[in-house]
Amino acid sequence: MQHSRNFMLLGSLLLLVGISVGIMMGATGDHSLAPLHAHINLLGFVLMTVFGLVYRSFPNMAASGLATLHFWLHSLGTLLLLALLALLLTGSISESAMFPLAPISEVSIFVGIVCFVINLFQNGK
Ligand code: HEM
Ligand code: HEM
């Protein structure tokens, strides 16, 4: 149950950041941060809120160790990926400097989602 709340709290904080970037883009007319804005809102707020609500609906899933693994893999992977994307899109780092941290963050998110899917099949009833 704790990860349900943690996912929703972190997702809501990311929504604040995501819409702030959206408002900034609207105000300045510079839309170069659109992919960052999109993924803060989608990978952050939307997915984390859906995960939080699924764990709230299926307490057996929330009680599984897979939920803990999923929470940390998704959260750390997402925060790392978003930080790298922010640095890339603001021109602070080059695309080649994304290696190897970007693939690591993507694998972290992917493996977290594999945990979620296995957990859903095993305990989502
Ligand atoms: C106050 C709230 C928001 C503002 C002011 C805002 C503003 C913007 C702006 C200015 C763009 C760039 C558009 C372009 O260059 O074509 C954009 C793109 C986008 N926004 Fe938002 N946005 C907001 C909330 C959201 C939310 C809540 C989501 C998702 C849950 C979202 C998802 C997206 C996506 C996916 C794109 C990229 C679209 C594309 O490039 O194809 N936005 N937004
Ligand atoms: C590991 C996770 C993910 C990675 C590595 C990833 C990567 C990418 C890349 C490389 C693009 C093209 C960007 C561009 O052309 O500038 C993209 C676009 C997009 N992705 Fe993702 N994505 C991920 C997860 C997601 C998720 C979970 C969603 C939705 C729930 C999503 C929604 C979108 C949308 C709407 C666009 C088009 C918006 C835009 O270009 O600004 N992505 N993604």
d(CA 61, CA 82): 27
User: Can you give the pLDDT at residue 96?
Assistant: 97
Range 8-17 average pLDDT: 98
pLDDT, tens digit (0-9, with 9 covering 90-100), for 80-115? 999 999 999 999 999 999 999 999 999 999 999 999
- Alpha-carbon distance of 57 to 91, in angstroms, equals 42
pLDDT in tens, 18-45: 999 999 999 999 999 999 999 999 999 9
Q: How far is the CA of 38 from the centre of ligand 1 (A)?
A: 6
Cis check: omega of the bond before 103, within 30 degrees of 0: no
- Ligand 1 atom nearest the C-alpha of 46 is 30
Token pair listed for 88: 């890339």
Instruction: Please state, in angstroms and rounded to a whole number, the distance separating the CA atoms of residues 5 and 14.
Output: 14
Task: Give residue 7's pLDDT band: very low, low, confident or very high (50, 70, 90).
Answer: very high
Per-residue tokens: 38: 């999109």
pLDDT at 85: 98
Tokens found for residue 4:
């349900």
Which of 15, 25, 33, 39 should be mutated for ligand 2, with most atoms under 8 A from CB? 39
Mark residue 25 as left, alpha or beta (left: phi above 0; alpha: psi -120 to 50; beta: remaining): alpha
What pLDDT does residue 1 have?
Answer: 64
Q: Separation of 38 CA from ligand 2 center, angstroms?
A: 7
Model pLDDT, residue 31: 98
User: What are the sequence ranges of the domains in the chain?
Assistant: 2-123
